[in-house]
Amino acid sequence: MEETSLAGLQNYEVLETSEEWVLFHNCFSLCSRKVRICLKELSLKAKLIHIHILETGDSENLSKNFLKINPKATVPVLLHHGKPIYESHEQIAFLEKFNSILSQSETVNHWVKRGSLVGEPNENHGQYAGNCVSIFTVPLFVTMLESISIFKFIGYLVRHPVRFRAFNFFLFKILKYKVFKKGTPLSKITSSATENLKIHFTTLNEHMNERTWIDGDKFSLADITWMVLFHRLEEAQILNFFIKDRNNLIRYFERLKKRESYKTELLDYEEDSIKVGKYKLKIALRSNKSLREYYKYIQFL
């Protein structure tokens, strides 16, 4: 299989199954959350198989069995009659074909694309808000990886097909809060992510004037896409920096949090690894100077 082909529905089976839908997912993965919410909102039943990634305690995504499902070692992977669909924005678009209850329009397509995570998170911040939000997940990565044995990182470094990601996680483990110091590569990338995410949110705030949902009165894939971004920024204790002066977005997020799918597919999937990571982040924001200054840097950019 060519790596460049791993997007959308493939024409081969990776699993012999009687299930119409199978989702390999992770509780913390941003894109996994998006697909779980989509299944819920579309009332589609799927067999869910949880795959641990390093930050939630193990590297099941690097097992031989999972690499047969996805050689790129990423979650989520959605199967339709055993055939894989890769990339979450492709997965939710494919799912929608089987139940057309959500709003569909060019406006929806625009905001789905704009809220997606595409390629490497250190690139294309002006195009994809999802790439920006990924950068702000780093503080949670650092706190969640604190409790992971260094021996697990050795196997992770050797086996992970994306060397850049593996090396970054190794640095997060070794350097911990030092990665947040001024002048580091992360601080430069953070500047781009912050400036561009402010633009994305300003544009969305203006768009939400007199709208309940992104496409008007009807919920859509665009709202699912942005729901997980708001939630991740809240987990990272950074959301207020971006929406405090954007009243339409404050009200919009309150509406998102009232969706049943927000509770069942986000809050109910908060495993101990996530809870501990959030707690450690809260403590570190009070006690660690480098992290505290990093957050101030984001706030006042």
**Digit-coded pLDDT (tens) for 134-147:** 999 999 999 999 98
For 235, other C-beta atoms within 10 Å of its C-beta total 21
Q: According to DSSP H, which parts of 137-184 are helical?
A: 138-145, 150-159, 163-175
Confidence at residue 164, expressed as pLDDT on a 0 to 100 scale: 77
pLDDT tier at 5, thresholds 50, 70, 90: low
pLDDT tier at 247, thresholds 50, 70, 90: very high
Ranges for all domains in the chain classified under CATH 3.40.30.10: 3-96
* pLDDT for 1 beyond 50: no
Round the average pLDDT of the chain to a whole number and report it: 95
Of the listed ranges 50-54, 157-161, 288-292, the least confidently predicted one is 157-161
Q: How far apart (Å, rounded) are the C-alpha atoms in residues 135 and 194? A: 9
* pLDDT for 4 beyond 70: no
pLDDT tier at 237, thresholds 50, 70, 90: very high
For 97, other C-beta atoms within 10 Å of its C-beta total 8
* pLDDT for 275 beyond 90: yes
pLDDT per residue as tens digits for the range 30-63 = 999 999 999 999 999 999 999 999 999 999 999 9
pLDDT per residue as tens digits for the range 63-114 = 999 999 999 999 999 999 999 999 999 999 999 999 999 999 999 999 999 9
Confidence at residue 155, expressed as pLDDT on a 0 to 100 scale: 83
Higher pLDDT, 214 or 3: 214
Ranges for all domains in the chain classified under CATH 1.20.1050.10: 106-300
Judge contact between 239 and 246, C-beta under 8 A.
no
CATH architecture of 106-300: Up-down Bundle (1.20)
Q: How far apart (Å, rounded) are the C-alpha atoms in residues 240 and 235? A: 11
Q: How far apart (Å, rounded) are the C-alpha atoms in residues 23 and 51? A: 10
The closest of 73, 80, 67, 63 to 12, measured between CA atoms, is: 80
For residue 258, what are its two tokens? 């009232």
Confidence at residue 93, expressed as pLDDT on a 0 to 100 scale: 96
Confidence at residue 2, expressed as pLDDT on a 0 to 100 scale: 36
Domain covering 3-96, topology: Glutaredoxin (3.40.30)
* pLDDT for 292 beyond 80: yes
Give the three-class secondary structure for 82: coil
| Single-letter residue type at 209 | N
**Residue 116 CB contacts under 8 Å (≥ 6 apart), including other chains:** 88, 89, 128, 130, 225
| Single-letter residue type at 41 | E
% of the chain at pLDDT higher than 90: 85
Higher pLDDT, 1 or 94: 94
